[in-house]
């Protein structure tokens, strides 16, 4: 299946750098792209598939950092070590560039700027995540999450590459609470789940209202 239409191949310097420097790698479902505490010396760009980043605390609790889709860039962390690991949620293809390679790339200034922009985008996502975790109720969190997935794709039916546990660990909830929220959203005829991994938005405005104030 071609995913070219999913990825805007504009003449962005960073994308150029990926195109010209980036090795192509494939990963299978559930395979780790890199692990927490690995050396952080590469950037990634997704061509197809979905990737999850996550961090395990010493006592076994897990926090999912984010979910990345085709066109997204991730792995931008600064430190010598990865603070979050990255795992393939589905089979996927990614472009990988070494940090050092980008550094010596002709037109470096423009590439640096582009990396900065990608990092700032990541920062915004993290800010949204903080707002979500800090000040939103359970139903609100689930509504926001599913809405953001729905608005990412133009399709009517949206499929969920992640399971309930992944959602829960992203939203700072338990699977049971996520499940109940989904049941509730179905009961209100706001969403429809033909299967556990697919859903459709029936009442957008109601969903938006919920997302704004639970």
Partner DNA sequence: CGGTTAATTGAACGCATTCAACACGAGTGG
Partner DNA sequence: CCACTCGTGTTGAATGCGTTCAATTAACCG
What are the residues binding a second copy (CB under 8 A)? Answer: 55, 57-59, 61-63, 65, 76-79, 83-84, 108-109, 112-113, 115-117, 119-124, 126-127, 129-131, 133-135, 169, 171-172, 212-213
Q: How far is the CB of 85 from a second copy (least distance, A)?
A: 13
Residues in CB range of 66: below 8 A, 6 or more apart: 52, 53, 74, 125, 129, 170
Report how far residue 111's alpha carbon sits from residue 9's, in angstroms, rounded to the nearest whole number.
Answer: 15
Among residues 104 and 195, whose Cβ is nearest to DNA? 195
The correct pick among 95, 144, 177, 185 for binding DNA (CB under 7 A) is: 177
| DSSP state for residue 26 in the 8-state scheme | E
Under the binding rule (CB under 7 A), the answer on residue 209 touching DNA is no
When asked if residue 193 is in the footprint of DNA (CB under 7 A), the reply is yes
| Least distance from a second copy to the Cβ atom of residue 47, Å | 24
Q: Does 153 help bind DNA (rule: CB under 7 A)? A: no
Maximum CA pair distance of the chain? 57
Piece in contact with DNA (CB under 7 A), picked from 18-26, 83-91, 112-120, 163-171: 163-171
| 78 vs 62: CA distance, rounded Å | 21
3-state secondary structure at position 73: strand
**With binding defined as CB under 7 A, does residue 173 bind DNA?**
yes
For residue 196, report the phi and psi dihedrals to the nearest 5 degrees: -70, -20
Single out the residue of 121, 125, 101, 123 nearest to residue 16, CA to CA: 101
Residue 116 interacting entry, from DNA, a second copy, none, C-beta within 5 to 8 Å by type: a second copy
| Distance between CA atoms of residues 126 and 60, nearest Å | 22
Comparison of 148 and 174: residue with beta carbon closer to DNA: 174
User: Under the rule (CB under 7 A), what is the footprint of DNA?
Assistant: 137-139, 163-165, 172-180, 182-183, 193, 195-197, 214
């Amino acid at each position: 299946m071609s995913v070219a239409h999913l990825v805007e191949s504009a003449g962005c310097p960073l994308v150029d750098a990926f195109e010209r420097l980036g090795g192509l790698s494939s990963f299978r479902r559930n395979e780790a792209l890199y692990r927490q505490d690995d050396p952080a010396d590469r950037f990634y760009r997704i061509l197809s598939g979905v990737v999850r980043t996550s961090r395990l605390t010493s006592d076994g609790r897990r926090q999912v950092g984010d979910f990345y889709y085709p066109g997204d860039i991730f792995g931008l962390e600064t430190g010598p070590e990865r603070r979050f690991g990255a795992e393939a949620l589905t089979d996927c293809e990614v472009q990988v560039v070494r940090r050092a390679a980008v550094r010596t790339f002709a037109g470096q200034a423009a590439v640096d700027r582009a990396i900065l922009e990608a990092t700032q985008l990541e920062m915004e996502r993290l800010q949204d995540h903080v707002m979500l975790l800090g000040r939103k109720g359970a139903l609100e969190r689930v509504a926001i999450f599913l809405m953001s997935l729905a608005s990412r794709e133009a399709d009517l039916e949206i499929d969920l590459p992640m399971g309930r546990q992944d959602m829960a660990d992203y939203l700072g909830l338990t699977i049971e609470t996520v499940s109940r929220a989904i049941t509730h959203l179905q009961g209100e005829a706001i969403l429809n789940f033909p299967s556990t991994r697919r859903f459709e938005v029936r009442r957008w405005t109601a969903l938006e209202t919920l997302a704004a104030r639970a």
